[in-house]
Structure 1
Amino acid sequence: MGRRLIRPRRWMPPRVDDPGPTGPLIVVRRLGTGGHGPEDVRFDQAGRVVTGLRDGRIVWLDSVTGDRGVLGETGGRPLGVWPLGDGGVLVCDHDRGLLELGADGIVRVLADRVGGEKLTFASNVVQGRDGTIWFTTSTSRWDVDDHVGDVLEHSCTGRLLRRDPDGTVTTLLADLKFGNGLVLAPDESFLLIAETTGYRIRRHRLGDTTTDTRTGTTTDTTTGTTTDILVENLPGFPDNMSLGSDGLVWVAIAAPRNPLVDRLLPLPGFLRMLVWNLPDAIRPKAVPIAWVMAFDLDGKRVHDLRATDGSYGFVTSVAERDGVVVIGSLTEDDVAVLATTPPPAI
C-alpha cells in the first residue's frame, strides 16, 4: 500500500544560525515509566513528574526515588499534560481530543470537535487561574506516526484554541507551522507557542479580543495584532515547552534542522513528493541527539544543552523545578533526569 499523498507548500526557511551549545546534556539517572513514549513531562504541585504513555496511561514518577503510580487511562494516545491542583490532569489526547482525567480516575471529554469538525492531533495544554484552557493542535492533515509527512508538506494547519469555563471552544490561530509546546506567562498576559516546522516560538498576547464570526479567528483589539515572534530561526525543531520555577522557558529540541529538507522547501513540490515516497531506509531521518534549550521571557538564550552519546534521544519535552530538570521522549521508555544545569551563558 502506497503512502498518502502530500500537498507541498513552498516556504523559504531562514538560513541556519547555530551559535552552538552552552554546555553538555548529561543524564544522571533514568526513571522507568513501565511503558513507552513519555511524550510530555510536567511537575505537579507535589513535585512529582506526570507523563502520558503510548498505551493510554497517565503516570506519576518520583524524580528522586524512581517510585511510580498510575493516575488513570485515557483510552487513546496522550501527548501534552497539565497537572491540576486537585490531583487531576488535563490531557491533549492525539485520538480523543482535550480531556480531563479526574483525581478519581474518571475521564471527561472537554473538546473533541471544533467548528463542526473532529479535533485531531491535540498537542499541548495550559490552564489559567480562572479555568480558561488554551491548547494546540499540530496538524489537521497528519497523525503522530506520520508526522514527517507534515514536515515535508509544510501544511501550516496547526491551531491555537481556547476553551472557556462555559465549554465554548474558539480558534485563536489557524495557521501554525505544526503547533506544539505551549507556555502561559506568569501574569497570564501572553502565550508562547512552539511552531515545530517554523523553527520558532510565537508569542500571542491575551488582551481584549474580538472574534471574526466567519473564520472563528480572534484578534487583539488592544495591540491591533494577534502575535509576534519571541524566538526565531532556531537551529532545530522545537517541541513541547514548559515554564520552570527558575522563570525560564524550557524548550525540547526534537532534532536538528535537516539541510536537505531546508533546501527542498522553497523548490517545486514534486521534489518533496519524490523524497516522501522513497523507501524508509533512504528517506531523511532525524539526527540522533538529546537537546534542550532555555530562554528568558524576552527571548534571550540562557541554556543550550546537547548530547550525542546515545544516552537519550528525540527529546520531545522538558520541565524544570527547583533545579531538577527532566526530559521525555516519544521514542524512549524512560524519563531522564539531567545533571544540574550550568550557569547562564554570558
Structure 2
Amino acid sequence: MTAQAIGALSSTIVNRWAWWQAALKGIFGPMHEGEPQQGFYRTRFKGGKWEPVAIWWDEDTGWVAYRNGRDVDPGEAWNFCRTHPITREAYDRAMDGQPFDDEDATVAAQVAAGHNSGDLDIADELKDQIESALAGLKAYETVDNDATAAKALSLRNRLNELSNKADKVRTEQKAPHLAAGKAVDEKWQPLVKKAKAGADTVRDAIGAFETRKLQEQRKREREAEQARLAAEQAAREQQGETAVVEAPAPAPAPVAAPAPIKAAYGKAASVKVSTVVKDVTDWPALAVYMSNHPDCQDLLRKLAQRALDAGRTNIPGITTEEKAAVR
C-alpha cells in the first residue's frame, strides 16, 4: 500500500480508523475472529521477527491486508496482530527495514537472519550470535527510561534464548556420555559403597576404642593430680601449716599424640585427638559469641531475608529497603 493511497484513505474514511486509534491509546474495542479493523499492526511467528501489518477496506475489493509487503488473508492476519497496534510512523520505518522502537537492533538483525546455512558448526554459530549480542550490552549500562528498558529487555530475552539453545545442545550431546557413565556406575558403585561402608564401620569401632582409651588416660591424669595435691596438703599439715591448698584452675591438658595403629596388612592409621561440640547448653550465649563471625553473619542475613520473604515485619536488628528485580 503506497503512502499516497494510505493518506487518501485516511482523509476520506476517518471513521474506519477509530478502533485502531483507540487501541494505540490502550483502549481496545470488541475483537472478533476474522473481522478486522482498519489500521497498522505488527505480528510475528513464535520466536521470529516482528513484521508490520497494514489492514484497510477497499471499496472495490473489500478487506485488504499486507504483512511486511506480502499480500495476506485479512481475517487471518487480524487474528494474530490485533493486540499489537503500531503507529503509521512505526509501520513506515519497519517497511524500510528499521527495527521497532522497543526492539534492540542486534536482536532484530539476528532474528531476521534466522539460522545459518549449515556451513558453521552449531557451537560456532551460537558463539558468534552470543558474542554479537554481548557487544550490545554497553548501550544498556544505564537504563533511564521506559523505552530503553524495553529494548534492554529484548536483548536480555535474546541472550536467555541463546543460553537455553546452547544448554539444550550441550544436554543432547552429553546425554550418550551420561548414559554410558550411568551404566558404569550401576555396575561398580554397589561394590564401591559396600566395601566403603564396611571400612567405615571398622573405622568407627576403632575410633570408639581410642576414645575410651583417651578418657581412661584423662581419668588417671586427674586422679594423679588430686593425689599430688592431697600429698602436698598432708605435708603442710605435718609441718604445722593449716592453710588449705586450693587447686589452681586446671590448665588444658596437653593432647598427647596417640601412637599410630599398625596393621599386618596395608598401611598404618594415625589417631588424631580433637575437641568436638557435644551439646549446646545456651543458644543465645553461643549466638552472641559467634555473631561477629562472617559465616554466622551470612547465615543470619539469609535467615532474615527468608523471614521477610515469608511476610515477617518484626525482625529486630536490620534495616530494609524496597528493590525492584526483573524476573
More helix per residue: 2
Higher strand residue share: 1
TM-score by length of 2: 0.22
Higher relative contact order (CA 8 A, sep 6+): 1
Relative to the length of structure 1, the TM-score reads 0.21
Question: Radius of gyration: which is bigger?
Answer: 2
